[in-house]
Amino acid sequence: MNDIFESLRSRISQINVIKQVGRIVELTGGTLKISGLSQGASLGDRVLIHSEGNQIGGEILRLSKTGVTVLQDGSGEGLAINDSVEIVGRAEIAPDNSWIGRIIDPFGKPIDGRPLMPGPTVRSLRGAPPAPASRRTLGERLETGTAVFNTLLPLVRGQRIGLFAGSGVGKSSLLGKFARGVNADVVVIALVGERGRELREFTERILGQQGMARAVVVTATSDQSPLVRRRCMWTAMAVAEHFRDQGLHVLLLADSITRFAEAHREVALAAGEQGNLRGFPPSTSHTIMSLAERAGPGAEGSGDITAVFTVLVAGSDMDEPVADILRGVLDGHVVMDRSIAERGRFPAIDLLRSVSRSLPDAANTDENALIAETRRLLGAYERAEMMIQAGLYATGSDPSVDAAIKVWSALDGFLAEDAPAGITDSFKRLDACLALARR
Ligand SMILES: Nc1ncnc2c1ncn2[C@@H]1O[C@H](COP(=O)(O)OP(=O)(O)OP(=O)(O)O)[C@@H](O)[C@H]1O
Ligand SMILES: [Mg+2]
């Protein structure tokens, strides 16, 4: 009962009693100049433009004493000088524990047709990360539900990893596996810039009831304005922080950082920044890094945000700007390879190009030895693969390749396995694969 009152109180406190109304005075270069709103406006405020019976959203991009600059959702067609503009909300959100199991838009509105209450506390969408000195180090190893992440690429509490892959190689499917299988209290999922039909496919088929039961899904589809798509990622992060601050372990799954960066690029170019990093404006790095920095281990007394960010890389271009910026702030990266997906092995992880920086600390001596042996064998196989497949490799010419050939098929199968029985069992199964080489 108290919760309901708190929630109502929070909702009432967010209502603007005095409405400030501005007017459009200039429409040039894709943005709008508004007079009469400078007092009380803040950067990032949401506005509503009233134009001949239509209402169009927008956001404040620049502020000066003489006026504010607004980027409107959509093309702005039909807008006219003197149309009225009002501020409708700050760049804030009031998440609530009752949001678990729900699908929301970047403004905290439900899109699954059922009512949704805001929580008691309003949080900034662009909150600060925990102070570095108060932050815990990476935590204990997590059960992930998949053999490869239980062993060779361990995921620990508070770790931030990236999934780098081309389109259609299986990023979203792997996120779904994490949502169902990783040991966490709450899962927050940001779906930025997906096609409309993909939302249903993700929530119904990939996540399923089991995944939805502990998840909050925040979504903005590709047809929505860049402002809304960019906000989607910040809202998801603020929701994750809400749960983290209650001492919970949150798994944040962000699909994709590339779409977030592209949305930011559109907004920043409209605000007058120049694109330079292959079309991305300079603020892109800071925007991505400050987002990633908010995930990770919490301060003493709070929980942690373990995060998985997907990055779309064209071909295998890992130097592409978004991939390059993100790699610098992550504690691990997982590369997925189209040729592996094409031969039907999922998740299509290219193990030799993937690393988890939680190693070697996350595993004991015996486990680290198994991991090193696996990498050695897969490396030996990869170096000789063309020869082996062409039938040109003569058994006996290289003992490490002979050993690798014996284990390859078992290891390849292991990389695709689910791991319902846990980490210890996964290492036993890995050891059994490697034993084939010792025979
Ligand atoms: N574990 C799996 N088992 C079988 N098939 C899979 C698996 N994971 C992915 N696939 C296949 O790969 C296709 C693409 O997967 P998914 O949508 O996860 O890729 P994506 O990288 O997220 O794609 P996009 O770039 O379009 O978002 C699926 O439709 C399915 O055919
Ligand atoms: Mg996808």
- pLDDT tens for 48-87 read 999 888 888 998 988 888 889 999 888 778 888 999 999 8
Which ligand neighbours the alpha carbon of 171 most closely? 1
Answer yes or no: are the C-beta atoms of 226 and 292 closer than 8 Å: no
Which ligand neighbours the alpha carbon of 167 most closely? 1
* Dist. CA 170 → ligand 1 center (Å): 3
* Dist. CA 170 → ligand 2 center (Å): 7
* Dist. CA 177 → ligand 2 center (Å): 13
Q: Identify the segments of the chain with pLDDT beneath 70.
A: 1-4, 6-8, 10-18, 277, 315-318
Question: Which atom in ligand 1 lies closest to the alpha carbon of residue 206?
Answer: 18
Q: State which amino acid sits at residue 156.
A: V
Which ligand neighbours the alpha carbon of 163 most closely? 1
* Dist. CA 247 → ligand 1 center (Å): 34
Residue 76: predicted pLDDT: 79
* Dist. CA 207 → ligand 2 center (Å): 13
SS3 call for 357: coil
Answer yes or no: are the C-beta atoms of 125 and 107 closer than 8 Å: no
* Dist. CA 169 → ligand 1 center (Å): 5
Q: Please tell me the pTM assigned to this model.
A: 0.92
Q: What is the CA radius of gyration of the chain?
A: 24
Question: Which atom in ligand 1 lies closest to the alpha carbon of residue 175?
Answer: 18
Question: Which atom in ligand 1 lies closest to the alpha carbon of residue 167?
Answer: 25
Question: Which atom in ligand 1 lies closest to the alpha carbon of residue 201?
Answer: 17
Token look-up 């570095």 returns 132
Phi (first) and psi of residue 108, to 5 degrees: 80, 20
* Dist. CA 171 → ligand 2 center (Å): 5
HSE-up of 270 (CA within 13 Å, CB side)? 28
H/E stretch holding 154 reads none
Shortest-distance Cα residue to atom 1 of ligand 1: 346
Distance CA(337)–CA(349), nearest Å, equals: 6
Q: 209: which 2 tokens?
A: 């009831």
Answer yes or no: are the C-beta atoms of 59 and 43 closer than 8 Å: no
List, for residues 217-232, the tens digit of each pLDDT value: 999 988 889 999 999 9
Distance CA(45)–CA(266), nearest Å, equals: 18
Phi (first) and psi of residue 135, to 5 degrees: -80, 135
Shortest-distance Cα residue to atom 14 of ligand 1: 168
Shortest-distance Cα residue to atom 19 of ligand 1: 170
Q: Share the mean pLDDT of the chain.
A: 90
Answer yes or no: are the C-beta atoms of 247 and 299 closer than 8 Å: no
Question: Which atom in ligand 1 lies closest to the alpha carbon of residue 177?
Answer: 1
Percentage helix, strand, coil for the chain under 3-state DSSP, each rounded to 5: 40, 25, 40
Token look-up 């009031």 returns 94
Tell me the best of 146, 167, 173 to mutate to test the pocket of ligand 1, counting ligand atoms within 8 Å of each CB and taking the most. Answer: 173
Shortest-distance Cα residue to atom 8 of ligand 1: 170
Which ligand neighbours the alpha carbon of 313 most closely? 1
Which ligand neighbours the alpha carbon of 191 most closely? 2
Ligand 1 cavity residues, CB under 6 Å: 165, 167-173, 346
Please report, for residues 39, 125, 298, 345, the alpha-carbon distance to residue 56 in angstroms, rounded to integers and kept in the order given.
22, 21, 38, 46
* Dist. CA 41 → ligand 1 center (Å): 44
Phi (first) and psi of residue 84, to 5 degrees: -90, 150
Question: Which atom in ligand 1 lies closest to the alpha carbon of residue 173?
Answer: 18
* Dist. CA 161 → ligand 1 center (Å): 19
